Amino acid sequence: MESAGHELRRERVACFELIVWQDDLFEVLVDAETEISASQCDAINAHWQSRTRPFVLLLSCSQPFSYSFEASRRLGNSPMQGMLAVYCPNSVSRLSQEVAIGVNRSEHDHKIVRIFEQRDEAMAWLQLGLEQIRCATRVDVQPAQAAK
């Protein structure tokens, strides 16, 4: 995905590197060989809590990482998170993410999550979903009518 003529912003939260593709589209990279702990999970959740508009995430699983059981349960509790695309380029990362997603859904059954083998397909799915989210949350302000 191109950055539309501007330099990408990158943010660091605990063991996560966040790439800001758009104001409401983020890619999450986890440090290689990390086991995400409950405290690291709390740090990223706190980061997302400040969001006042819906956003979507691409979780890149191109590097190996894992979750503690408690982190699997806690991750992604922001009410503003609209969708999560999980990019798993191999069967090992896919299996790991399927287990984590299953645990997480016991706490957050409303989440819209999909796993992809191709990164471009994941980004396209998120872009389509973002368009729908933006349309659904748009507030059309009508001019006030003059008193008669």
State the total domains in the chain: 1
Domain, as residue range, for 14: 9-136
**10 Å Cβ neighbour count for 41?**
23
Is residue 146 a part of any domain in this protein? no
CB 18 within 8 A of CB 11: yes
Say which CATH number the domain at 49 has.
3.30.750
Is residue 1 a part of any domain in this protein? no
Residue 145 has pLDDT above 70, yes or no: no
- Could you give the CA distance from residue 12 to residue 3 in angstroms, rounded to a whole number? 19
Residue 2 has pLDDT above 60, yes or no: no
- Could you give the CA distance from residue 139 to residue 41 in angstroms, rounded to a whole number? 33
Question: What pLDDT is recorded for position 95?
Answer: 93
Amino acid identity at 119: R
Question: What pLDDT is recorded for position 141?
Answer: 39
- Could you give the CA distance from residue 110 to residue 82 in angstroms, rounded to a whole number? 10
Q: How confident is the model at residue 47 (pLDDT cuts 50, 70, 90)?
A: very high
Token reading at 120: 């471009």
Residue 5 has pLDDT above 70, yes or no: no
Residue 104 has pLDDT above 80, yes or no: yes
- Could you give the CA distance from residue 104 to residue 77 in angstroms, rounded to a whole number? 10
pTM, two decimal places: 0.85
Of these ranges, 30-39, 72-81, 105-114, the one predicted with the greatest mean pLDDT is 30-39
Is residue 53 a part of any domain in this protein? yes
